[in-house]
Amino acid sequence: MRAVRFHSHGGTDVLQVDELDRPEPAADEVLIAVDGAAVNPVDTYFREGSYEPFTLPMIPGIDAAGEVVAVGDDVTGFSEGDAVMATGIGKDHYGGYAEYAAIPDDRVVTLPEGVDTVAAGAAGVAAVTAWRALIDHADLQLGDRCLIHGGSGGVGHAAVQIAAAAGAQVITTASPQYHDELSDLGADHVFDYHRDDLADAVLDASDGGVDVVLDHRMHEYLQFDADVAATGCRVVGIGEKEQSVGFSQSSAVRGKDLQLTLMSMFNTPDLRDPLRNVAQLLASGDLDIEIAQQYDLDGAAEAQRAVLAESFLGKLVITP
């Protein structure tokens, strides 16, 4: 099979396409023919050495979806021909930038009939992170006023749709060229994050303050989050690289009883739980993963450059 690997840490030039034997699934693994594998910023952190991979050479990619072609001896619940999606495979296992991937069955779920496997492969960590942040950590409820920073990003555009499906009032920020598309995805209010009166706009749109905030750049926006929060607001911070965060300990902030959670998808007790919910949202049409660009294996280096450098709505995906 063909697979993207890096044999040493460095820039995108260390990525190369190698010819390898097709893997055999271990006892607890599902072997899939990969249709789609998301390109995520965290993939670049493993490549550059910010996160140490479990072994070198390394196949990157923490997400994948496709068709089951073999199962390990101890695996139940999966059969050849099943359409499946997986996430969390690249931290301690070979990843999804390959024609085939052998994936532990504790991070794989079957897809309902009709779900596009390329979109499911792109969903992975972005949609699971959005679900975990809003539903598991923030306990988003019907009618909550929810602020999502960066609604055009991978996590952001999934979060907008998940919040809308939950019946929340959705407020998000993005560059002006994405406003109409985010409104179509379910956002009630979309604001340019560069506007000088952004806090006033959010306060006006939320009738005095938001109940939930999903923030991916807390080193920049945590004080802003406190300023636009209603009493009891649940602020959830995501992000793969450690950053210094803080806000004023004024009585105005303390008086709001803010709840602050910093999360990582990799701490999910059982990845199958949010994955099943994401799969159901994909099947029902409540979640539509926007594919900004597809790349073949030879385009992996360009994809990893683009995921950090370019502005786009949705996700980039490798289609082996």
| pLDDT tens-place string over residues 295-320 | 999 999 999 999 998 789 999 999 99
Confidence of residue 163 (pLDDT cuts 50, 70, 90): very high
47-102 pLDDT tens trace: 999 887 778 999 999 999 999 999 999 999 999 999 999 999 988 899 999 999 99
Q: What is the DSSP string of 173-200?
A: E--GGGHHHHHHTT-SEEE-TT-TTHHH
Residue 240 has pLDDT above 70, yes or no: no
Q: What is the pLDDT of residues 112-122, one digit of tens each?
A: 999 999 999 99
Mean pLDDT of 170-199: 96
Lowest mean pLDDT among 233-237, 281-285, 307-311: 307-311
pTM across the whole model: 0.94
Question: What value does the mean pLDDT take over residues 175-190?
Answer: 97
Q: List the domains of the chain with CATH numbers.
A: 2-110+290-318 (3.90.180.10), 125-266 (3.40.50.720)
Query: What long-range pairs does 229-235 form, CB within 8 A, spacing at least 24?
Result: 229/256, 229/258, 230/145, 230/206, 230/256, 231/255, 231/256, 231/257, 232/256, 232/257, 232/258, 232/259, 233/209, 233/258, 233/259, 234/137, 234/138, 234/139, 234/259, 234/261, 235/259, 235/260, 235/261
The pLDDT of 198-227, averaged and rounded, is 93
Q: Would you say residue 31 has pLDDT above 60?
A: yes
Exposure string of 41-79, with b = 16+ CB inside 10 Å and e = fewer, is: ebbbbbbeeeeebeeeebbbbbbbbbbbebbbeebeebe
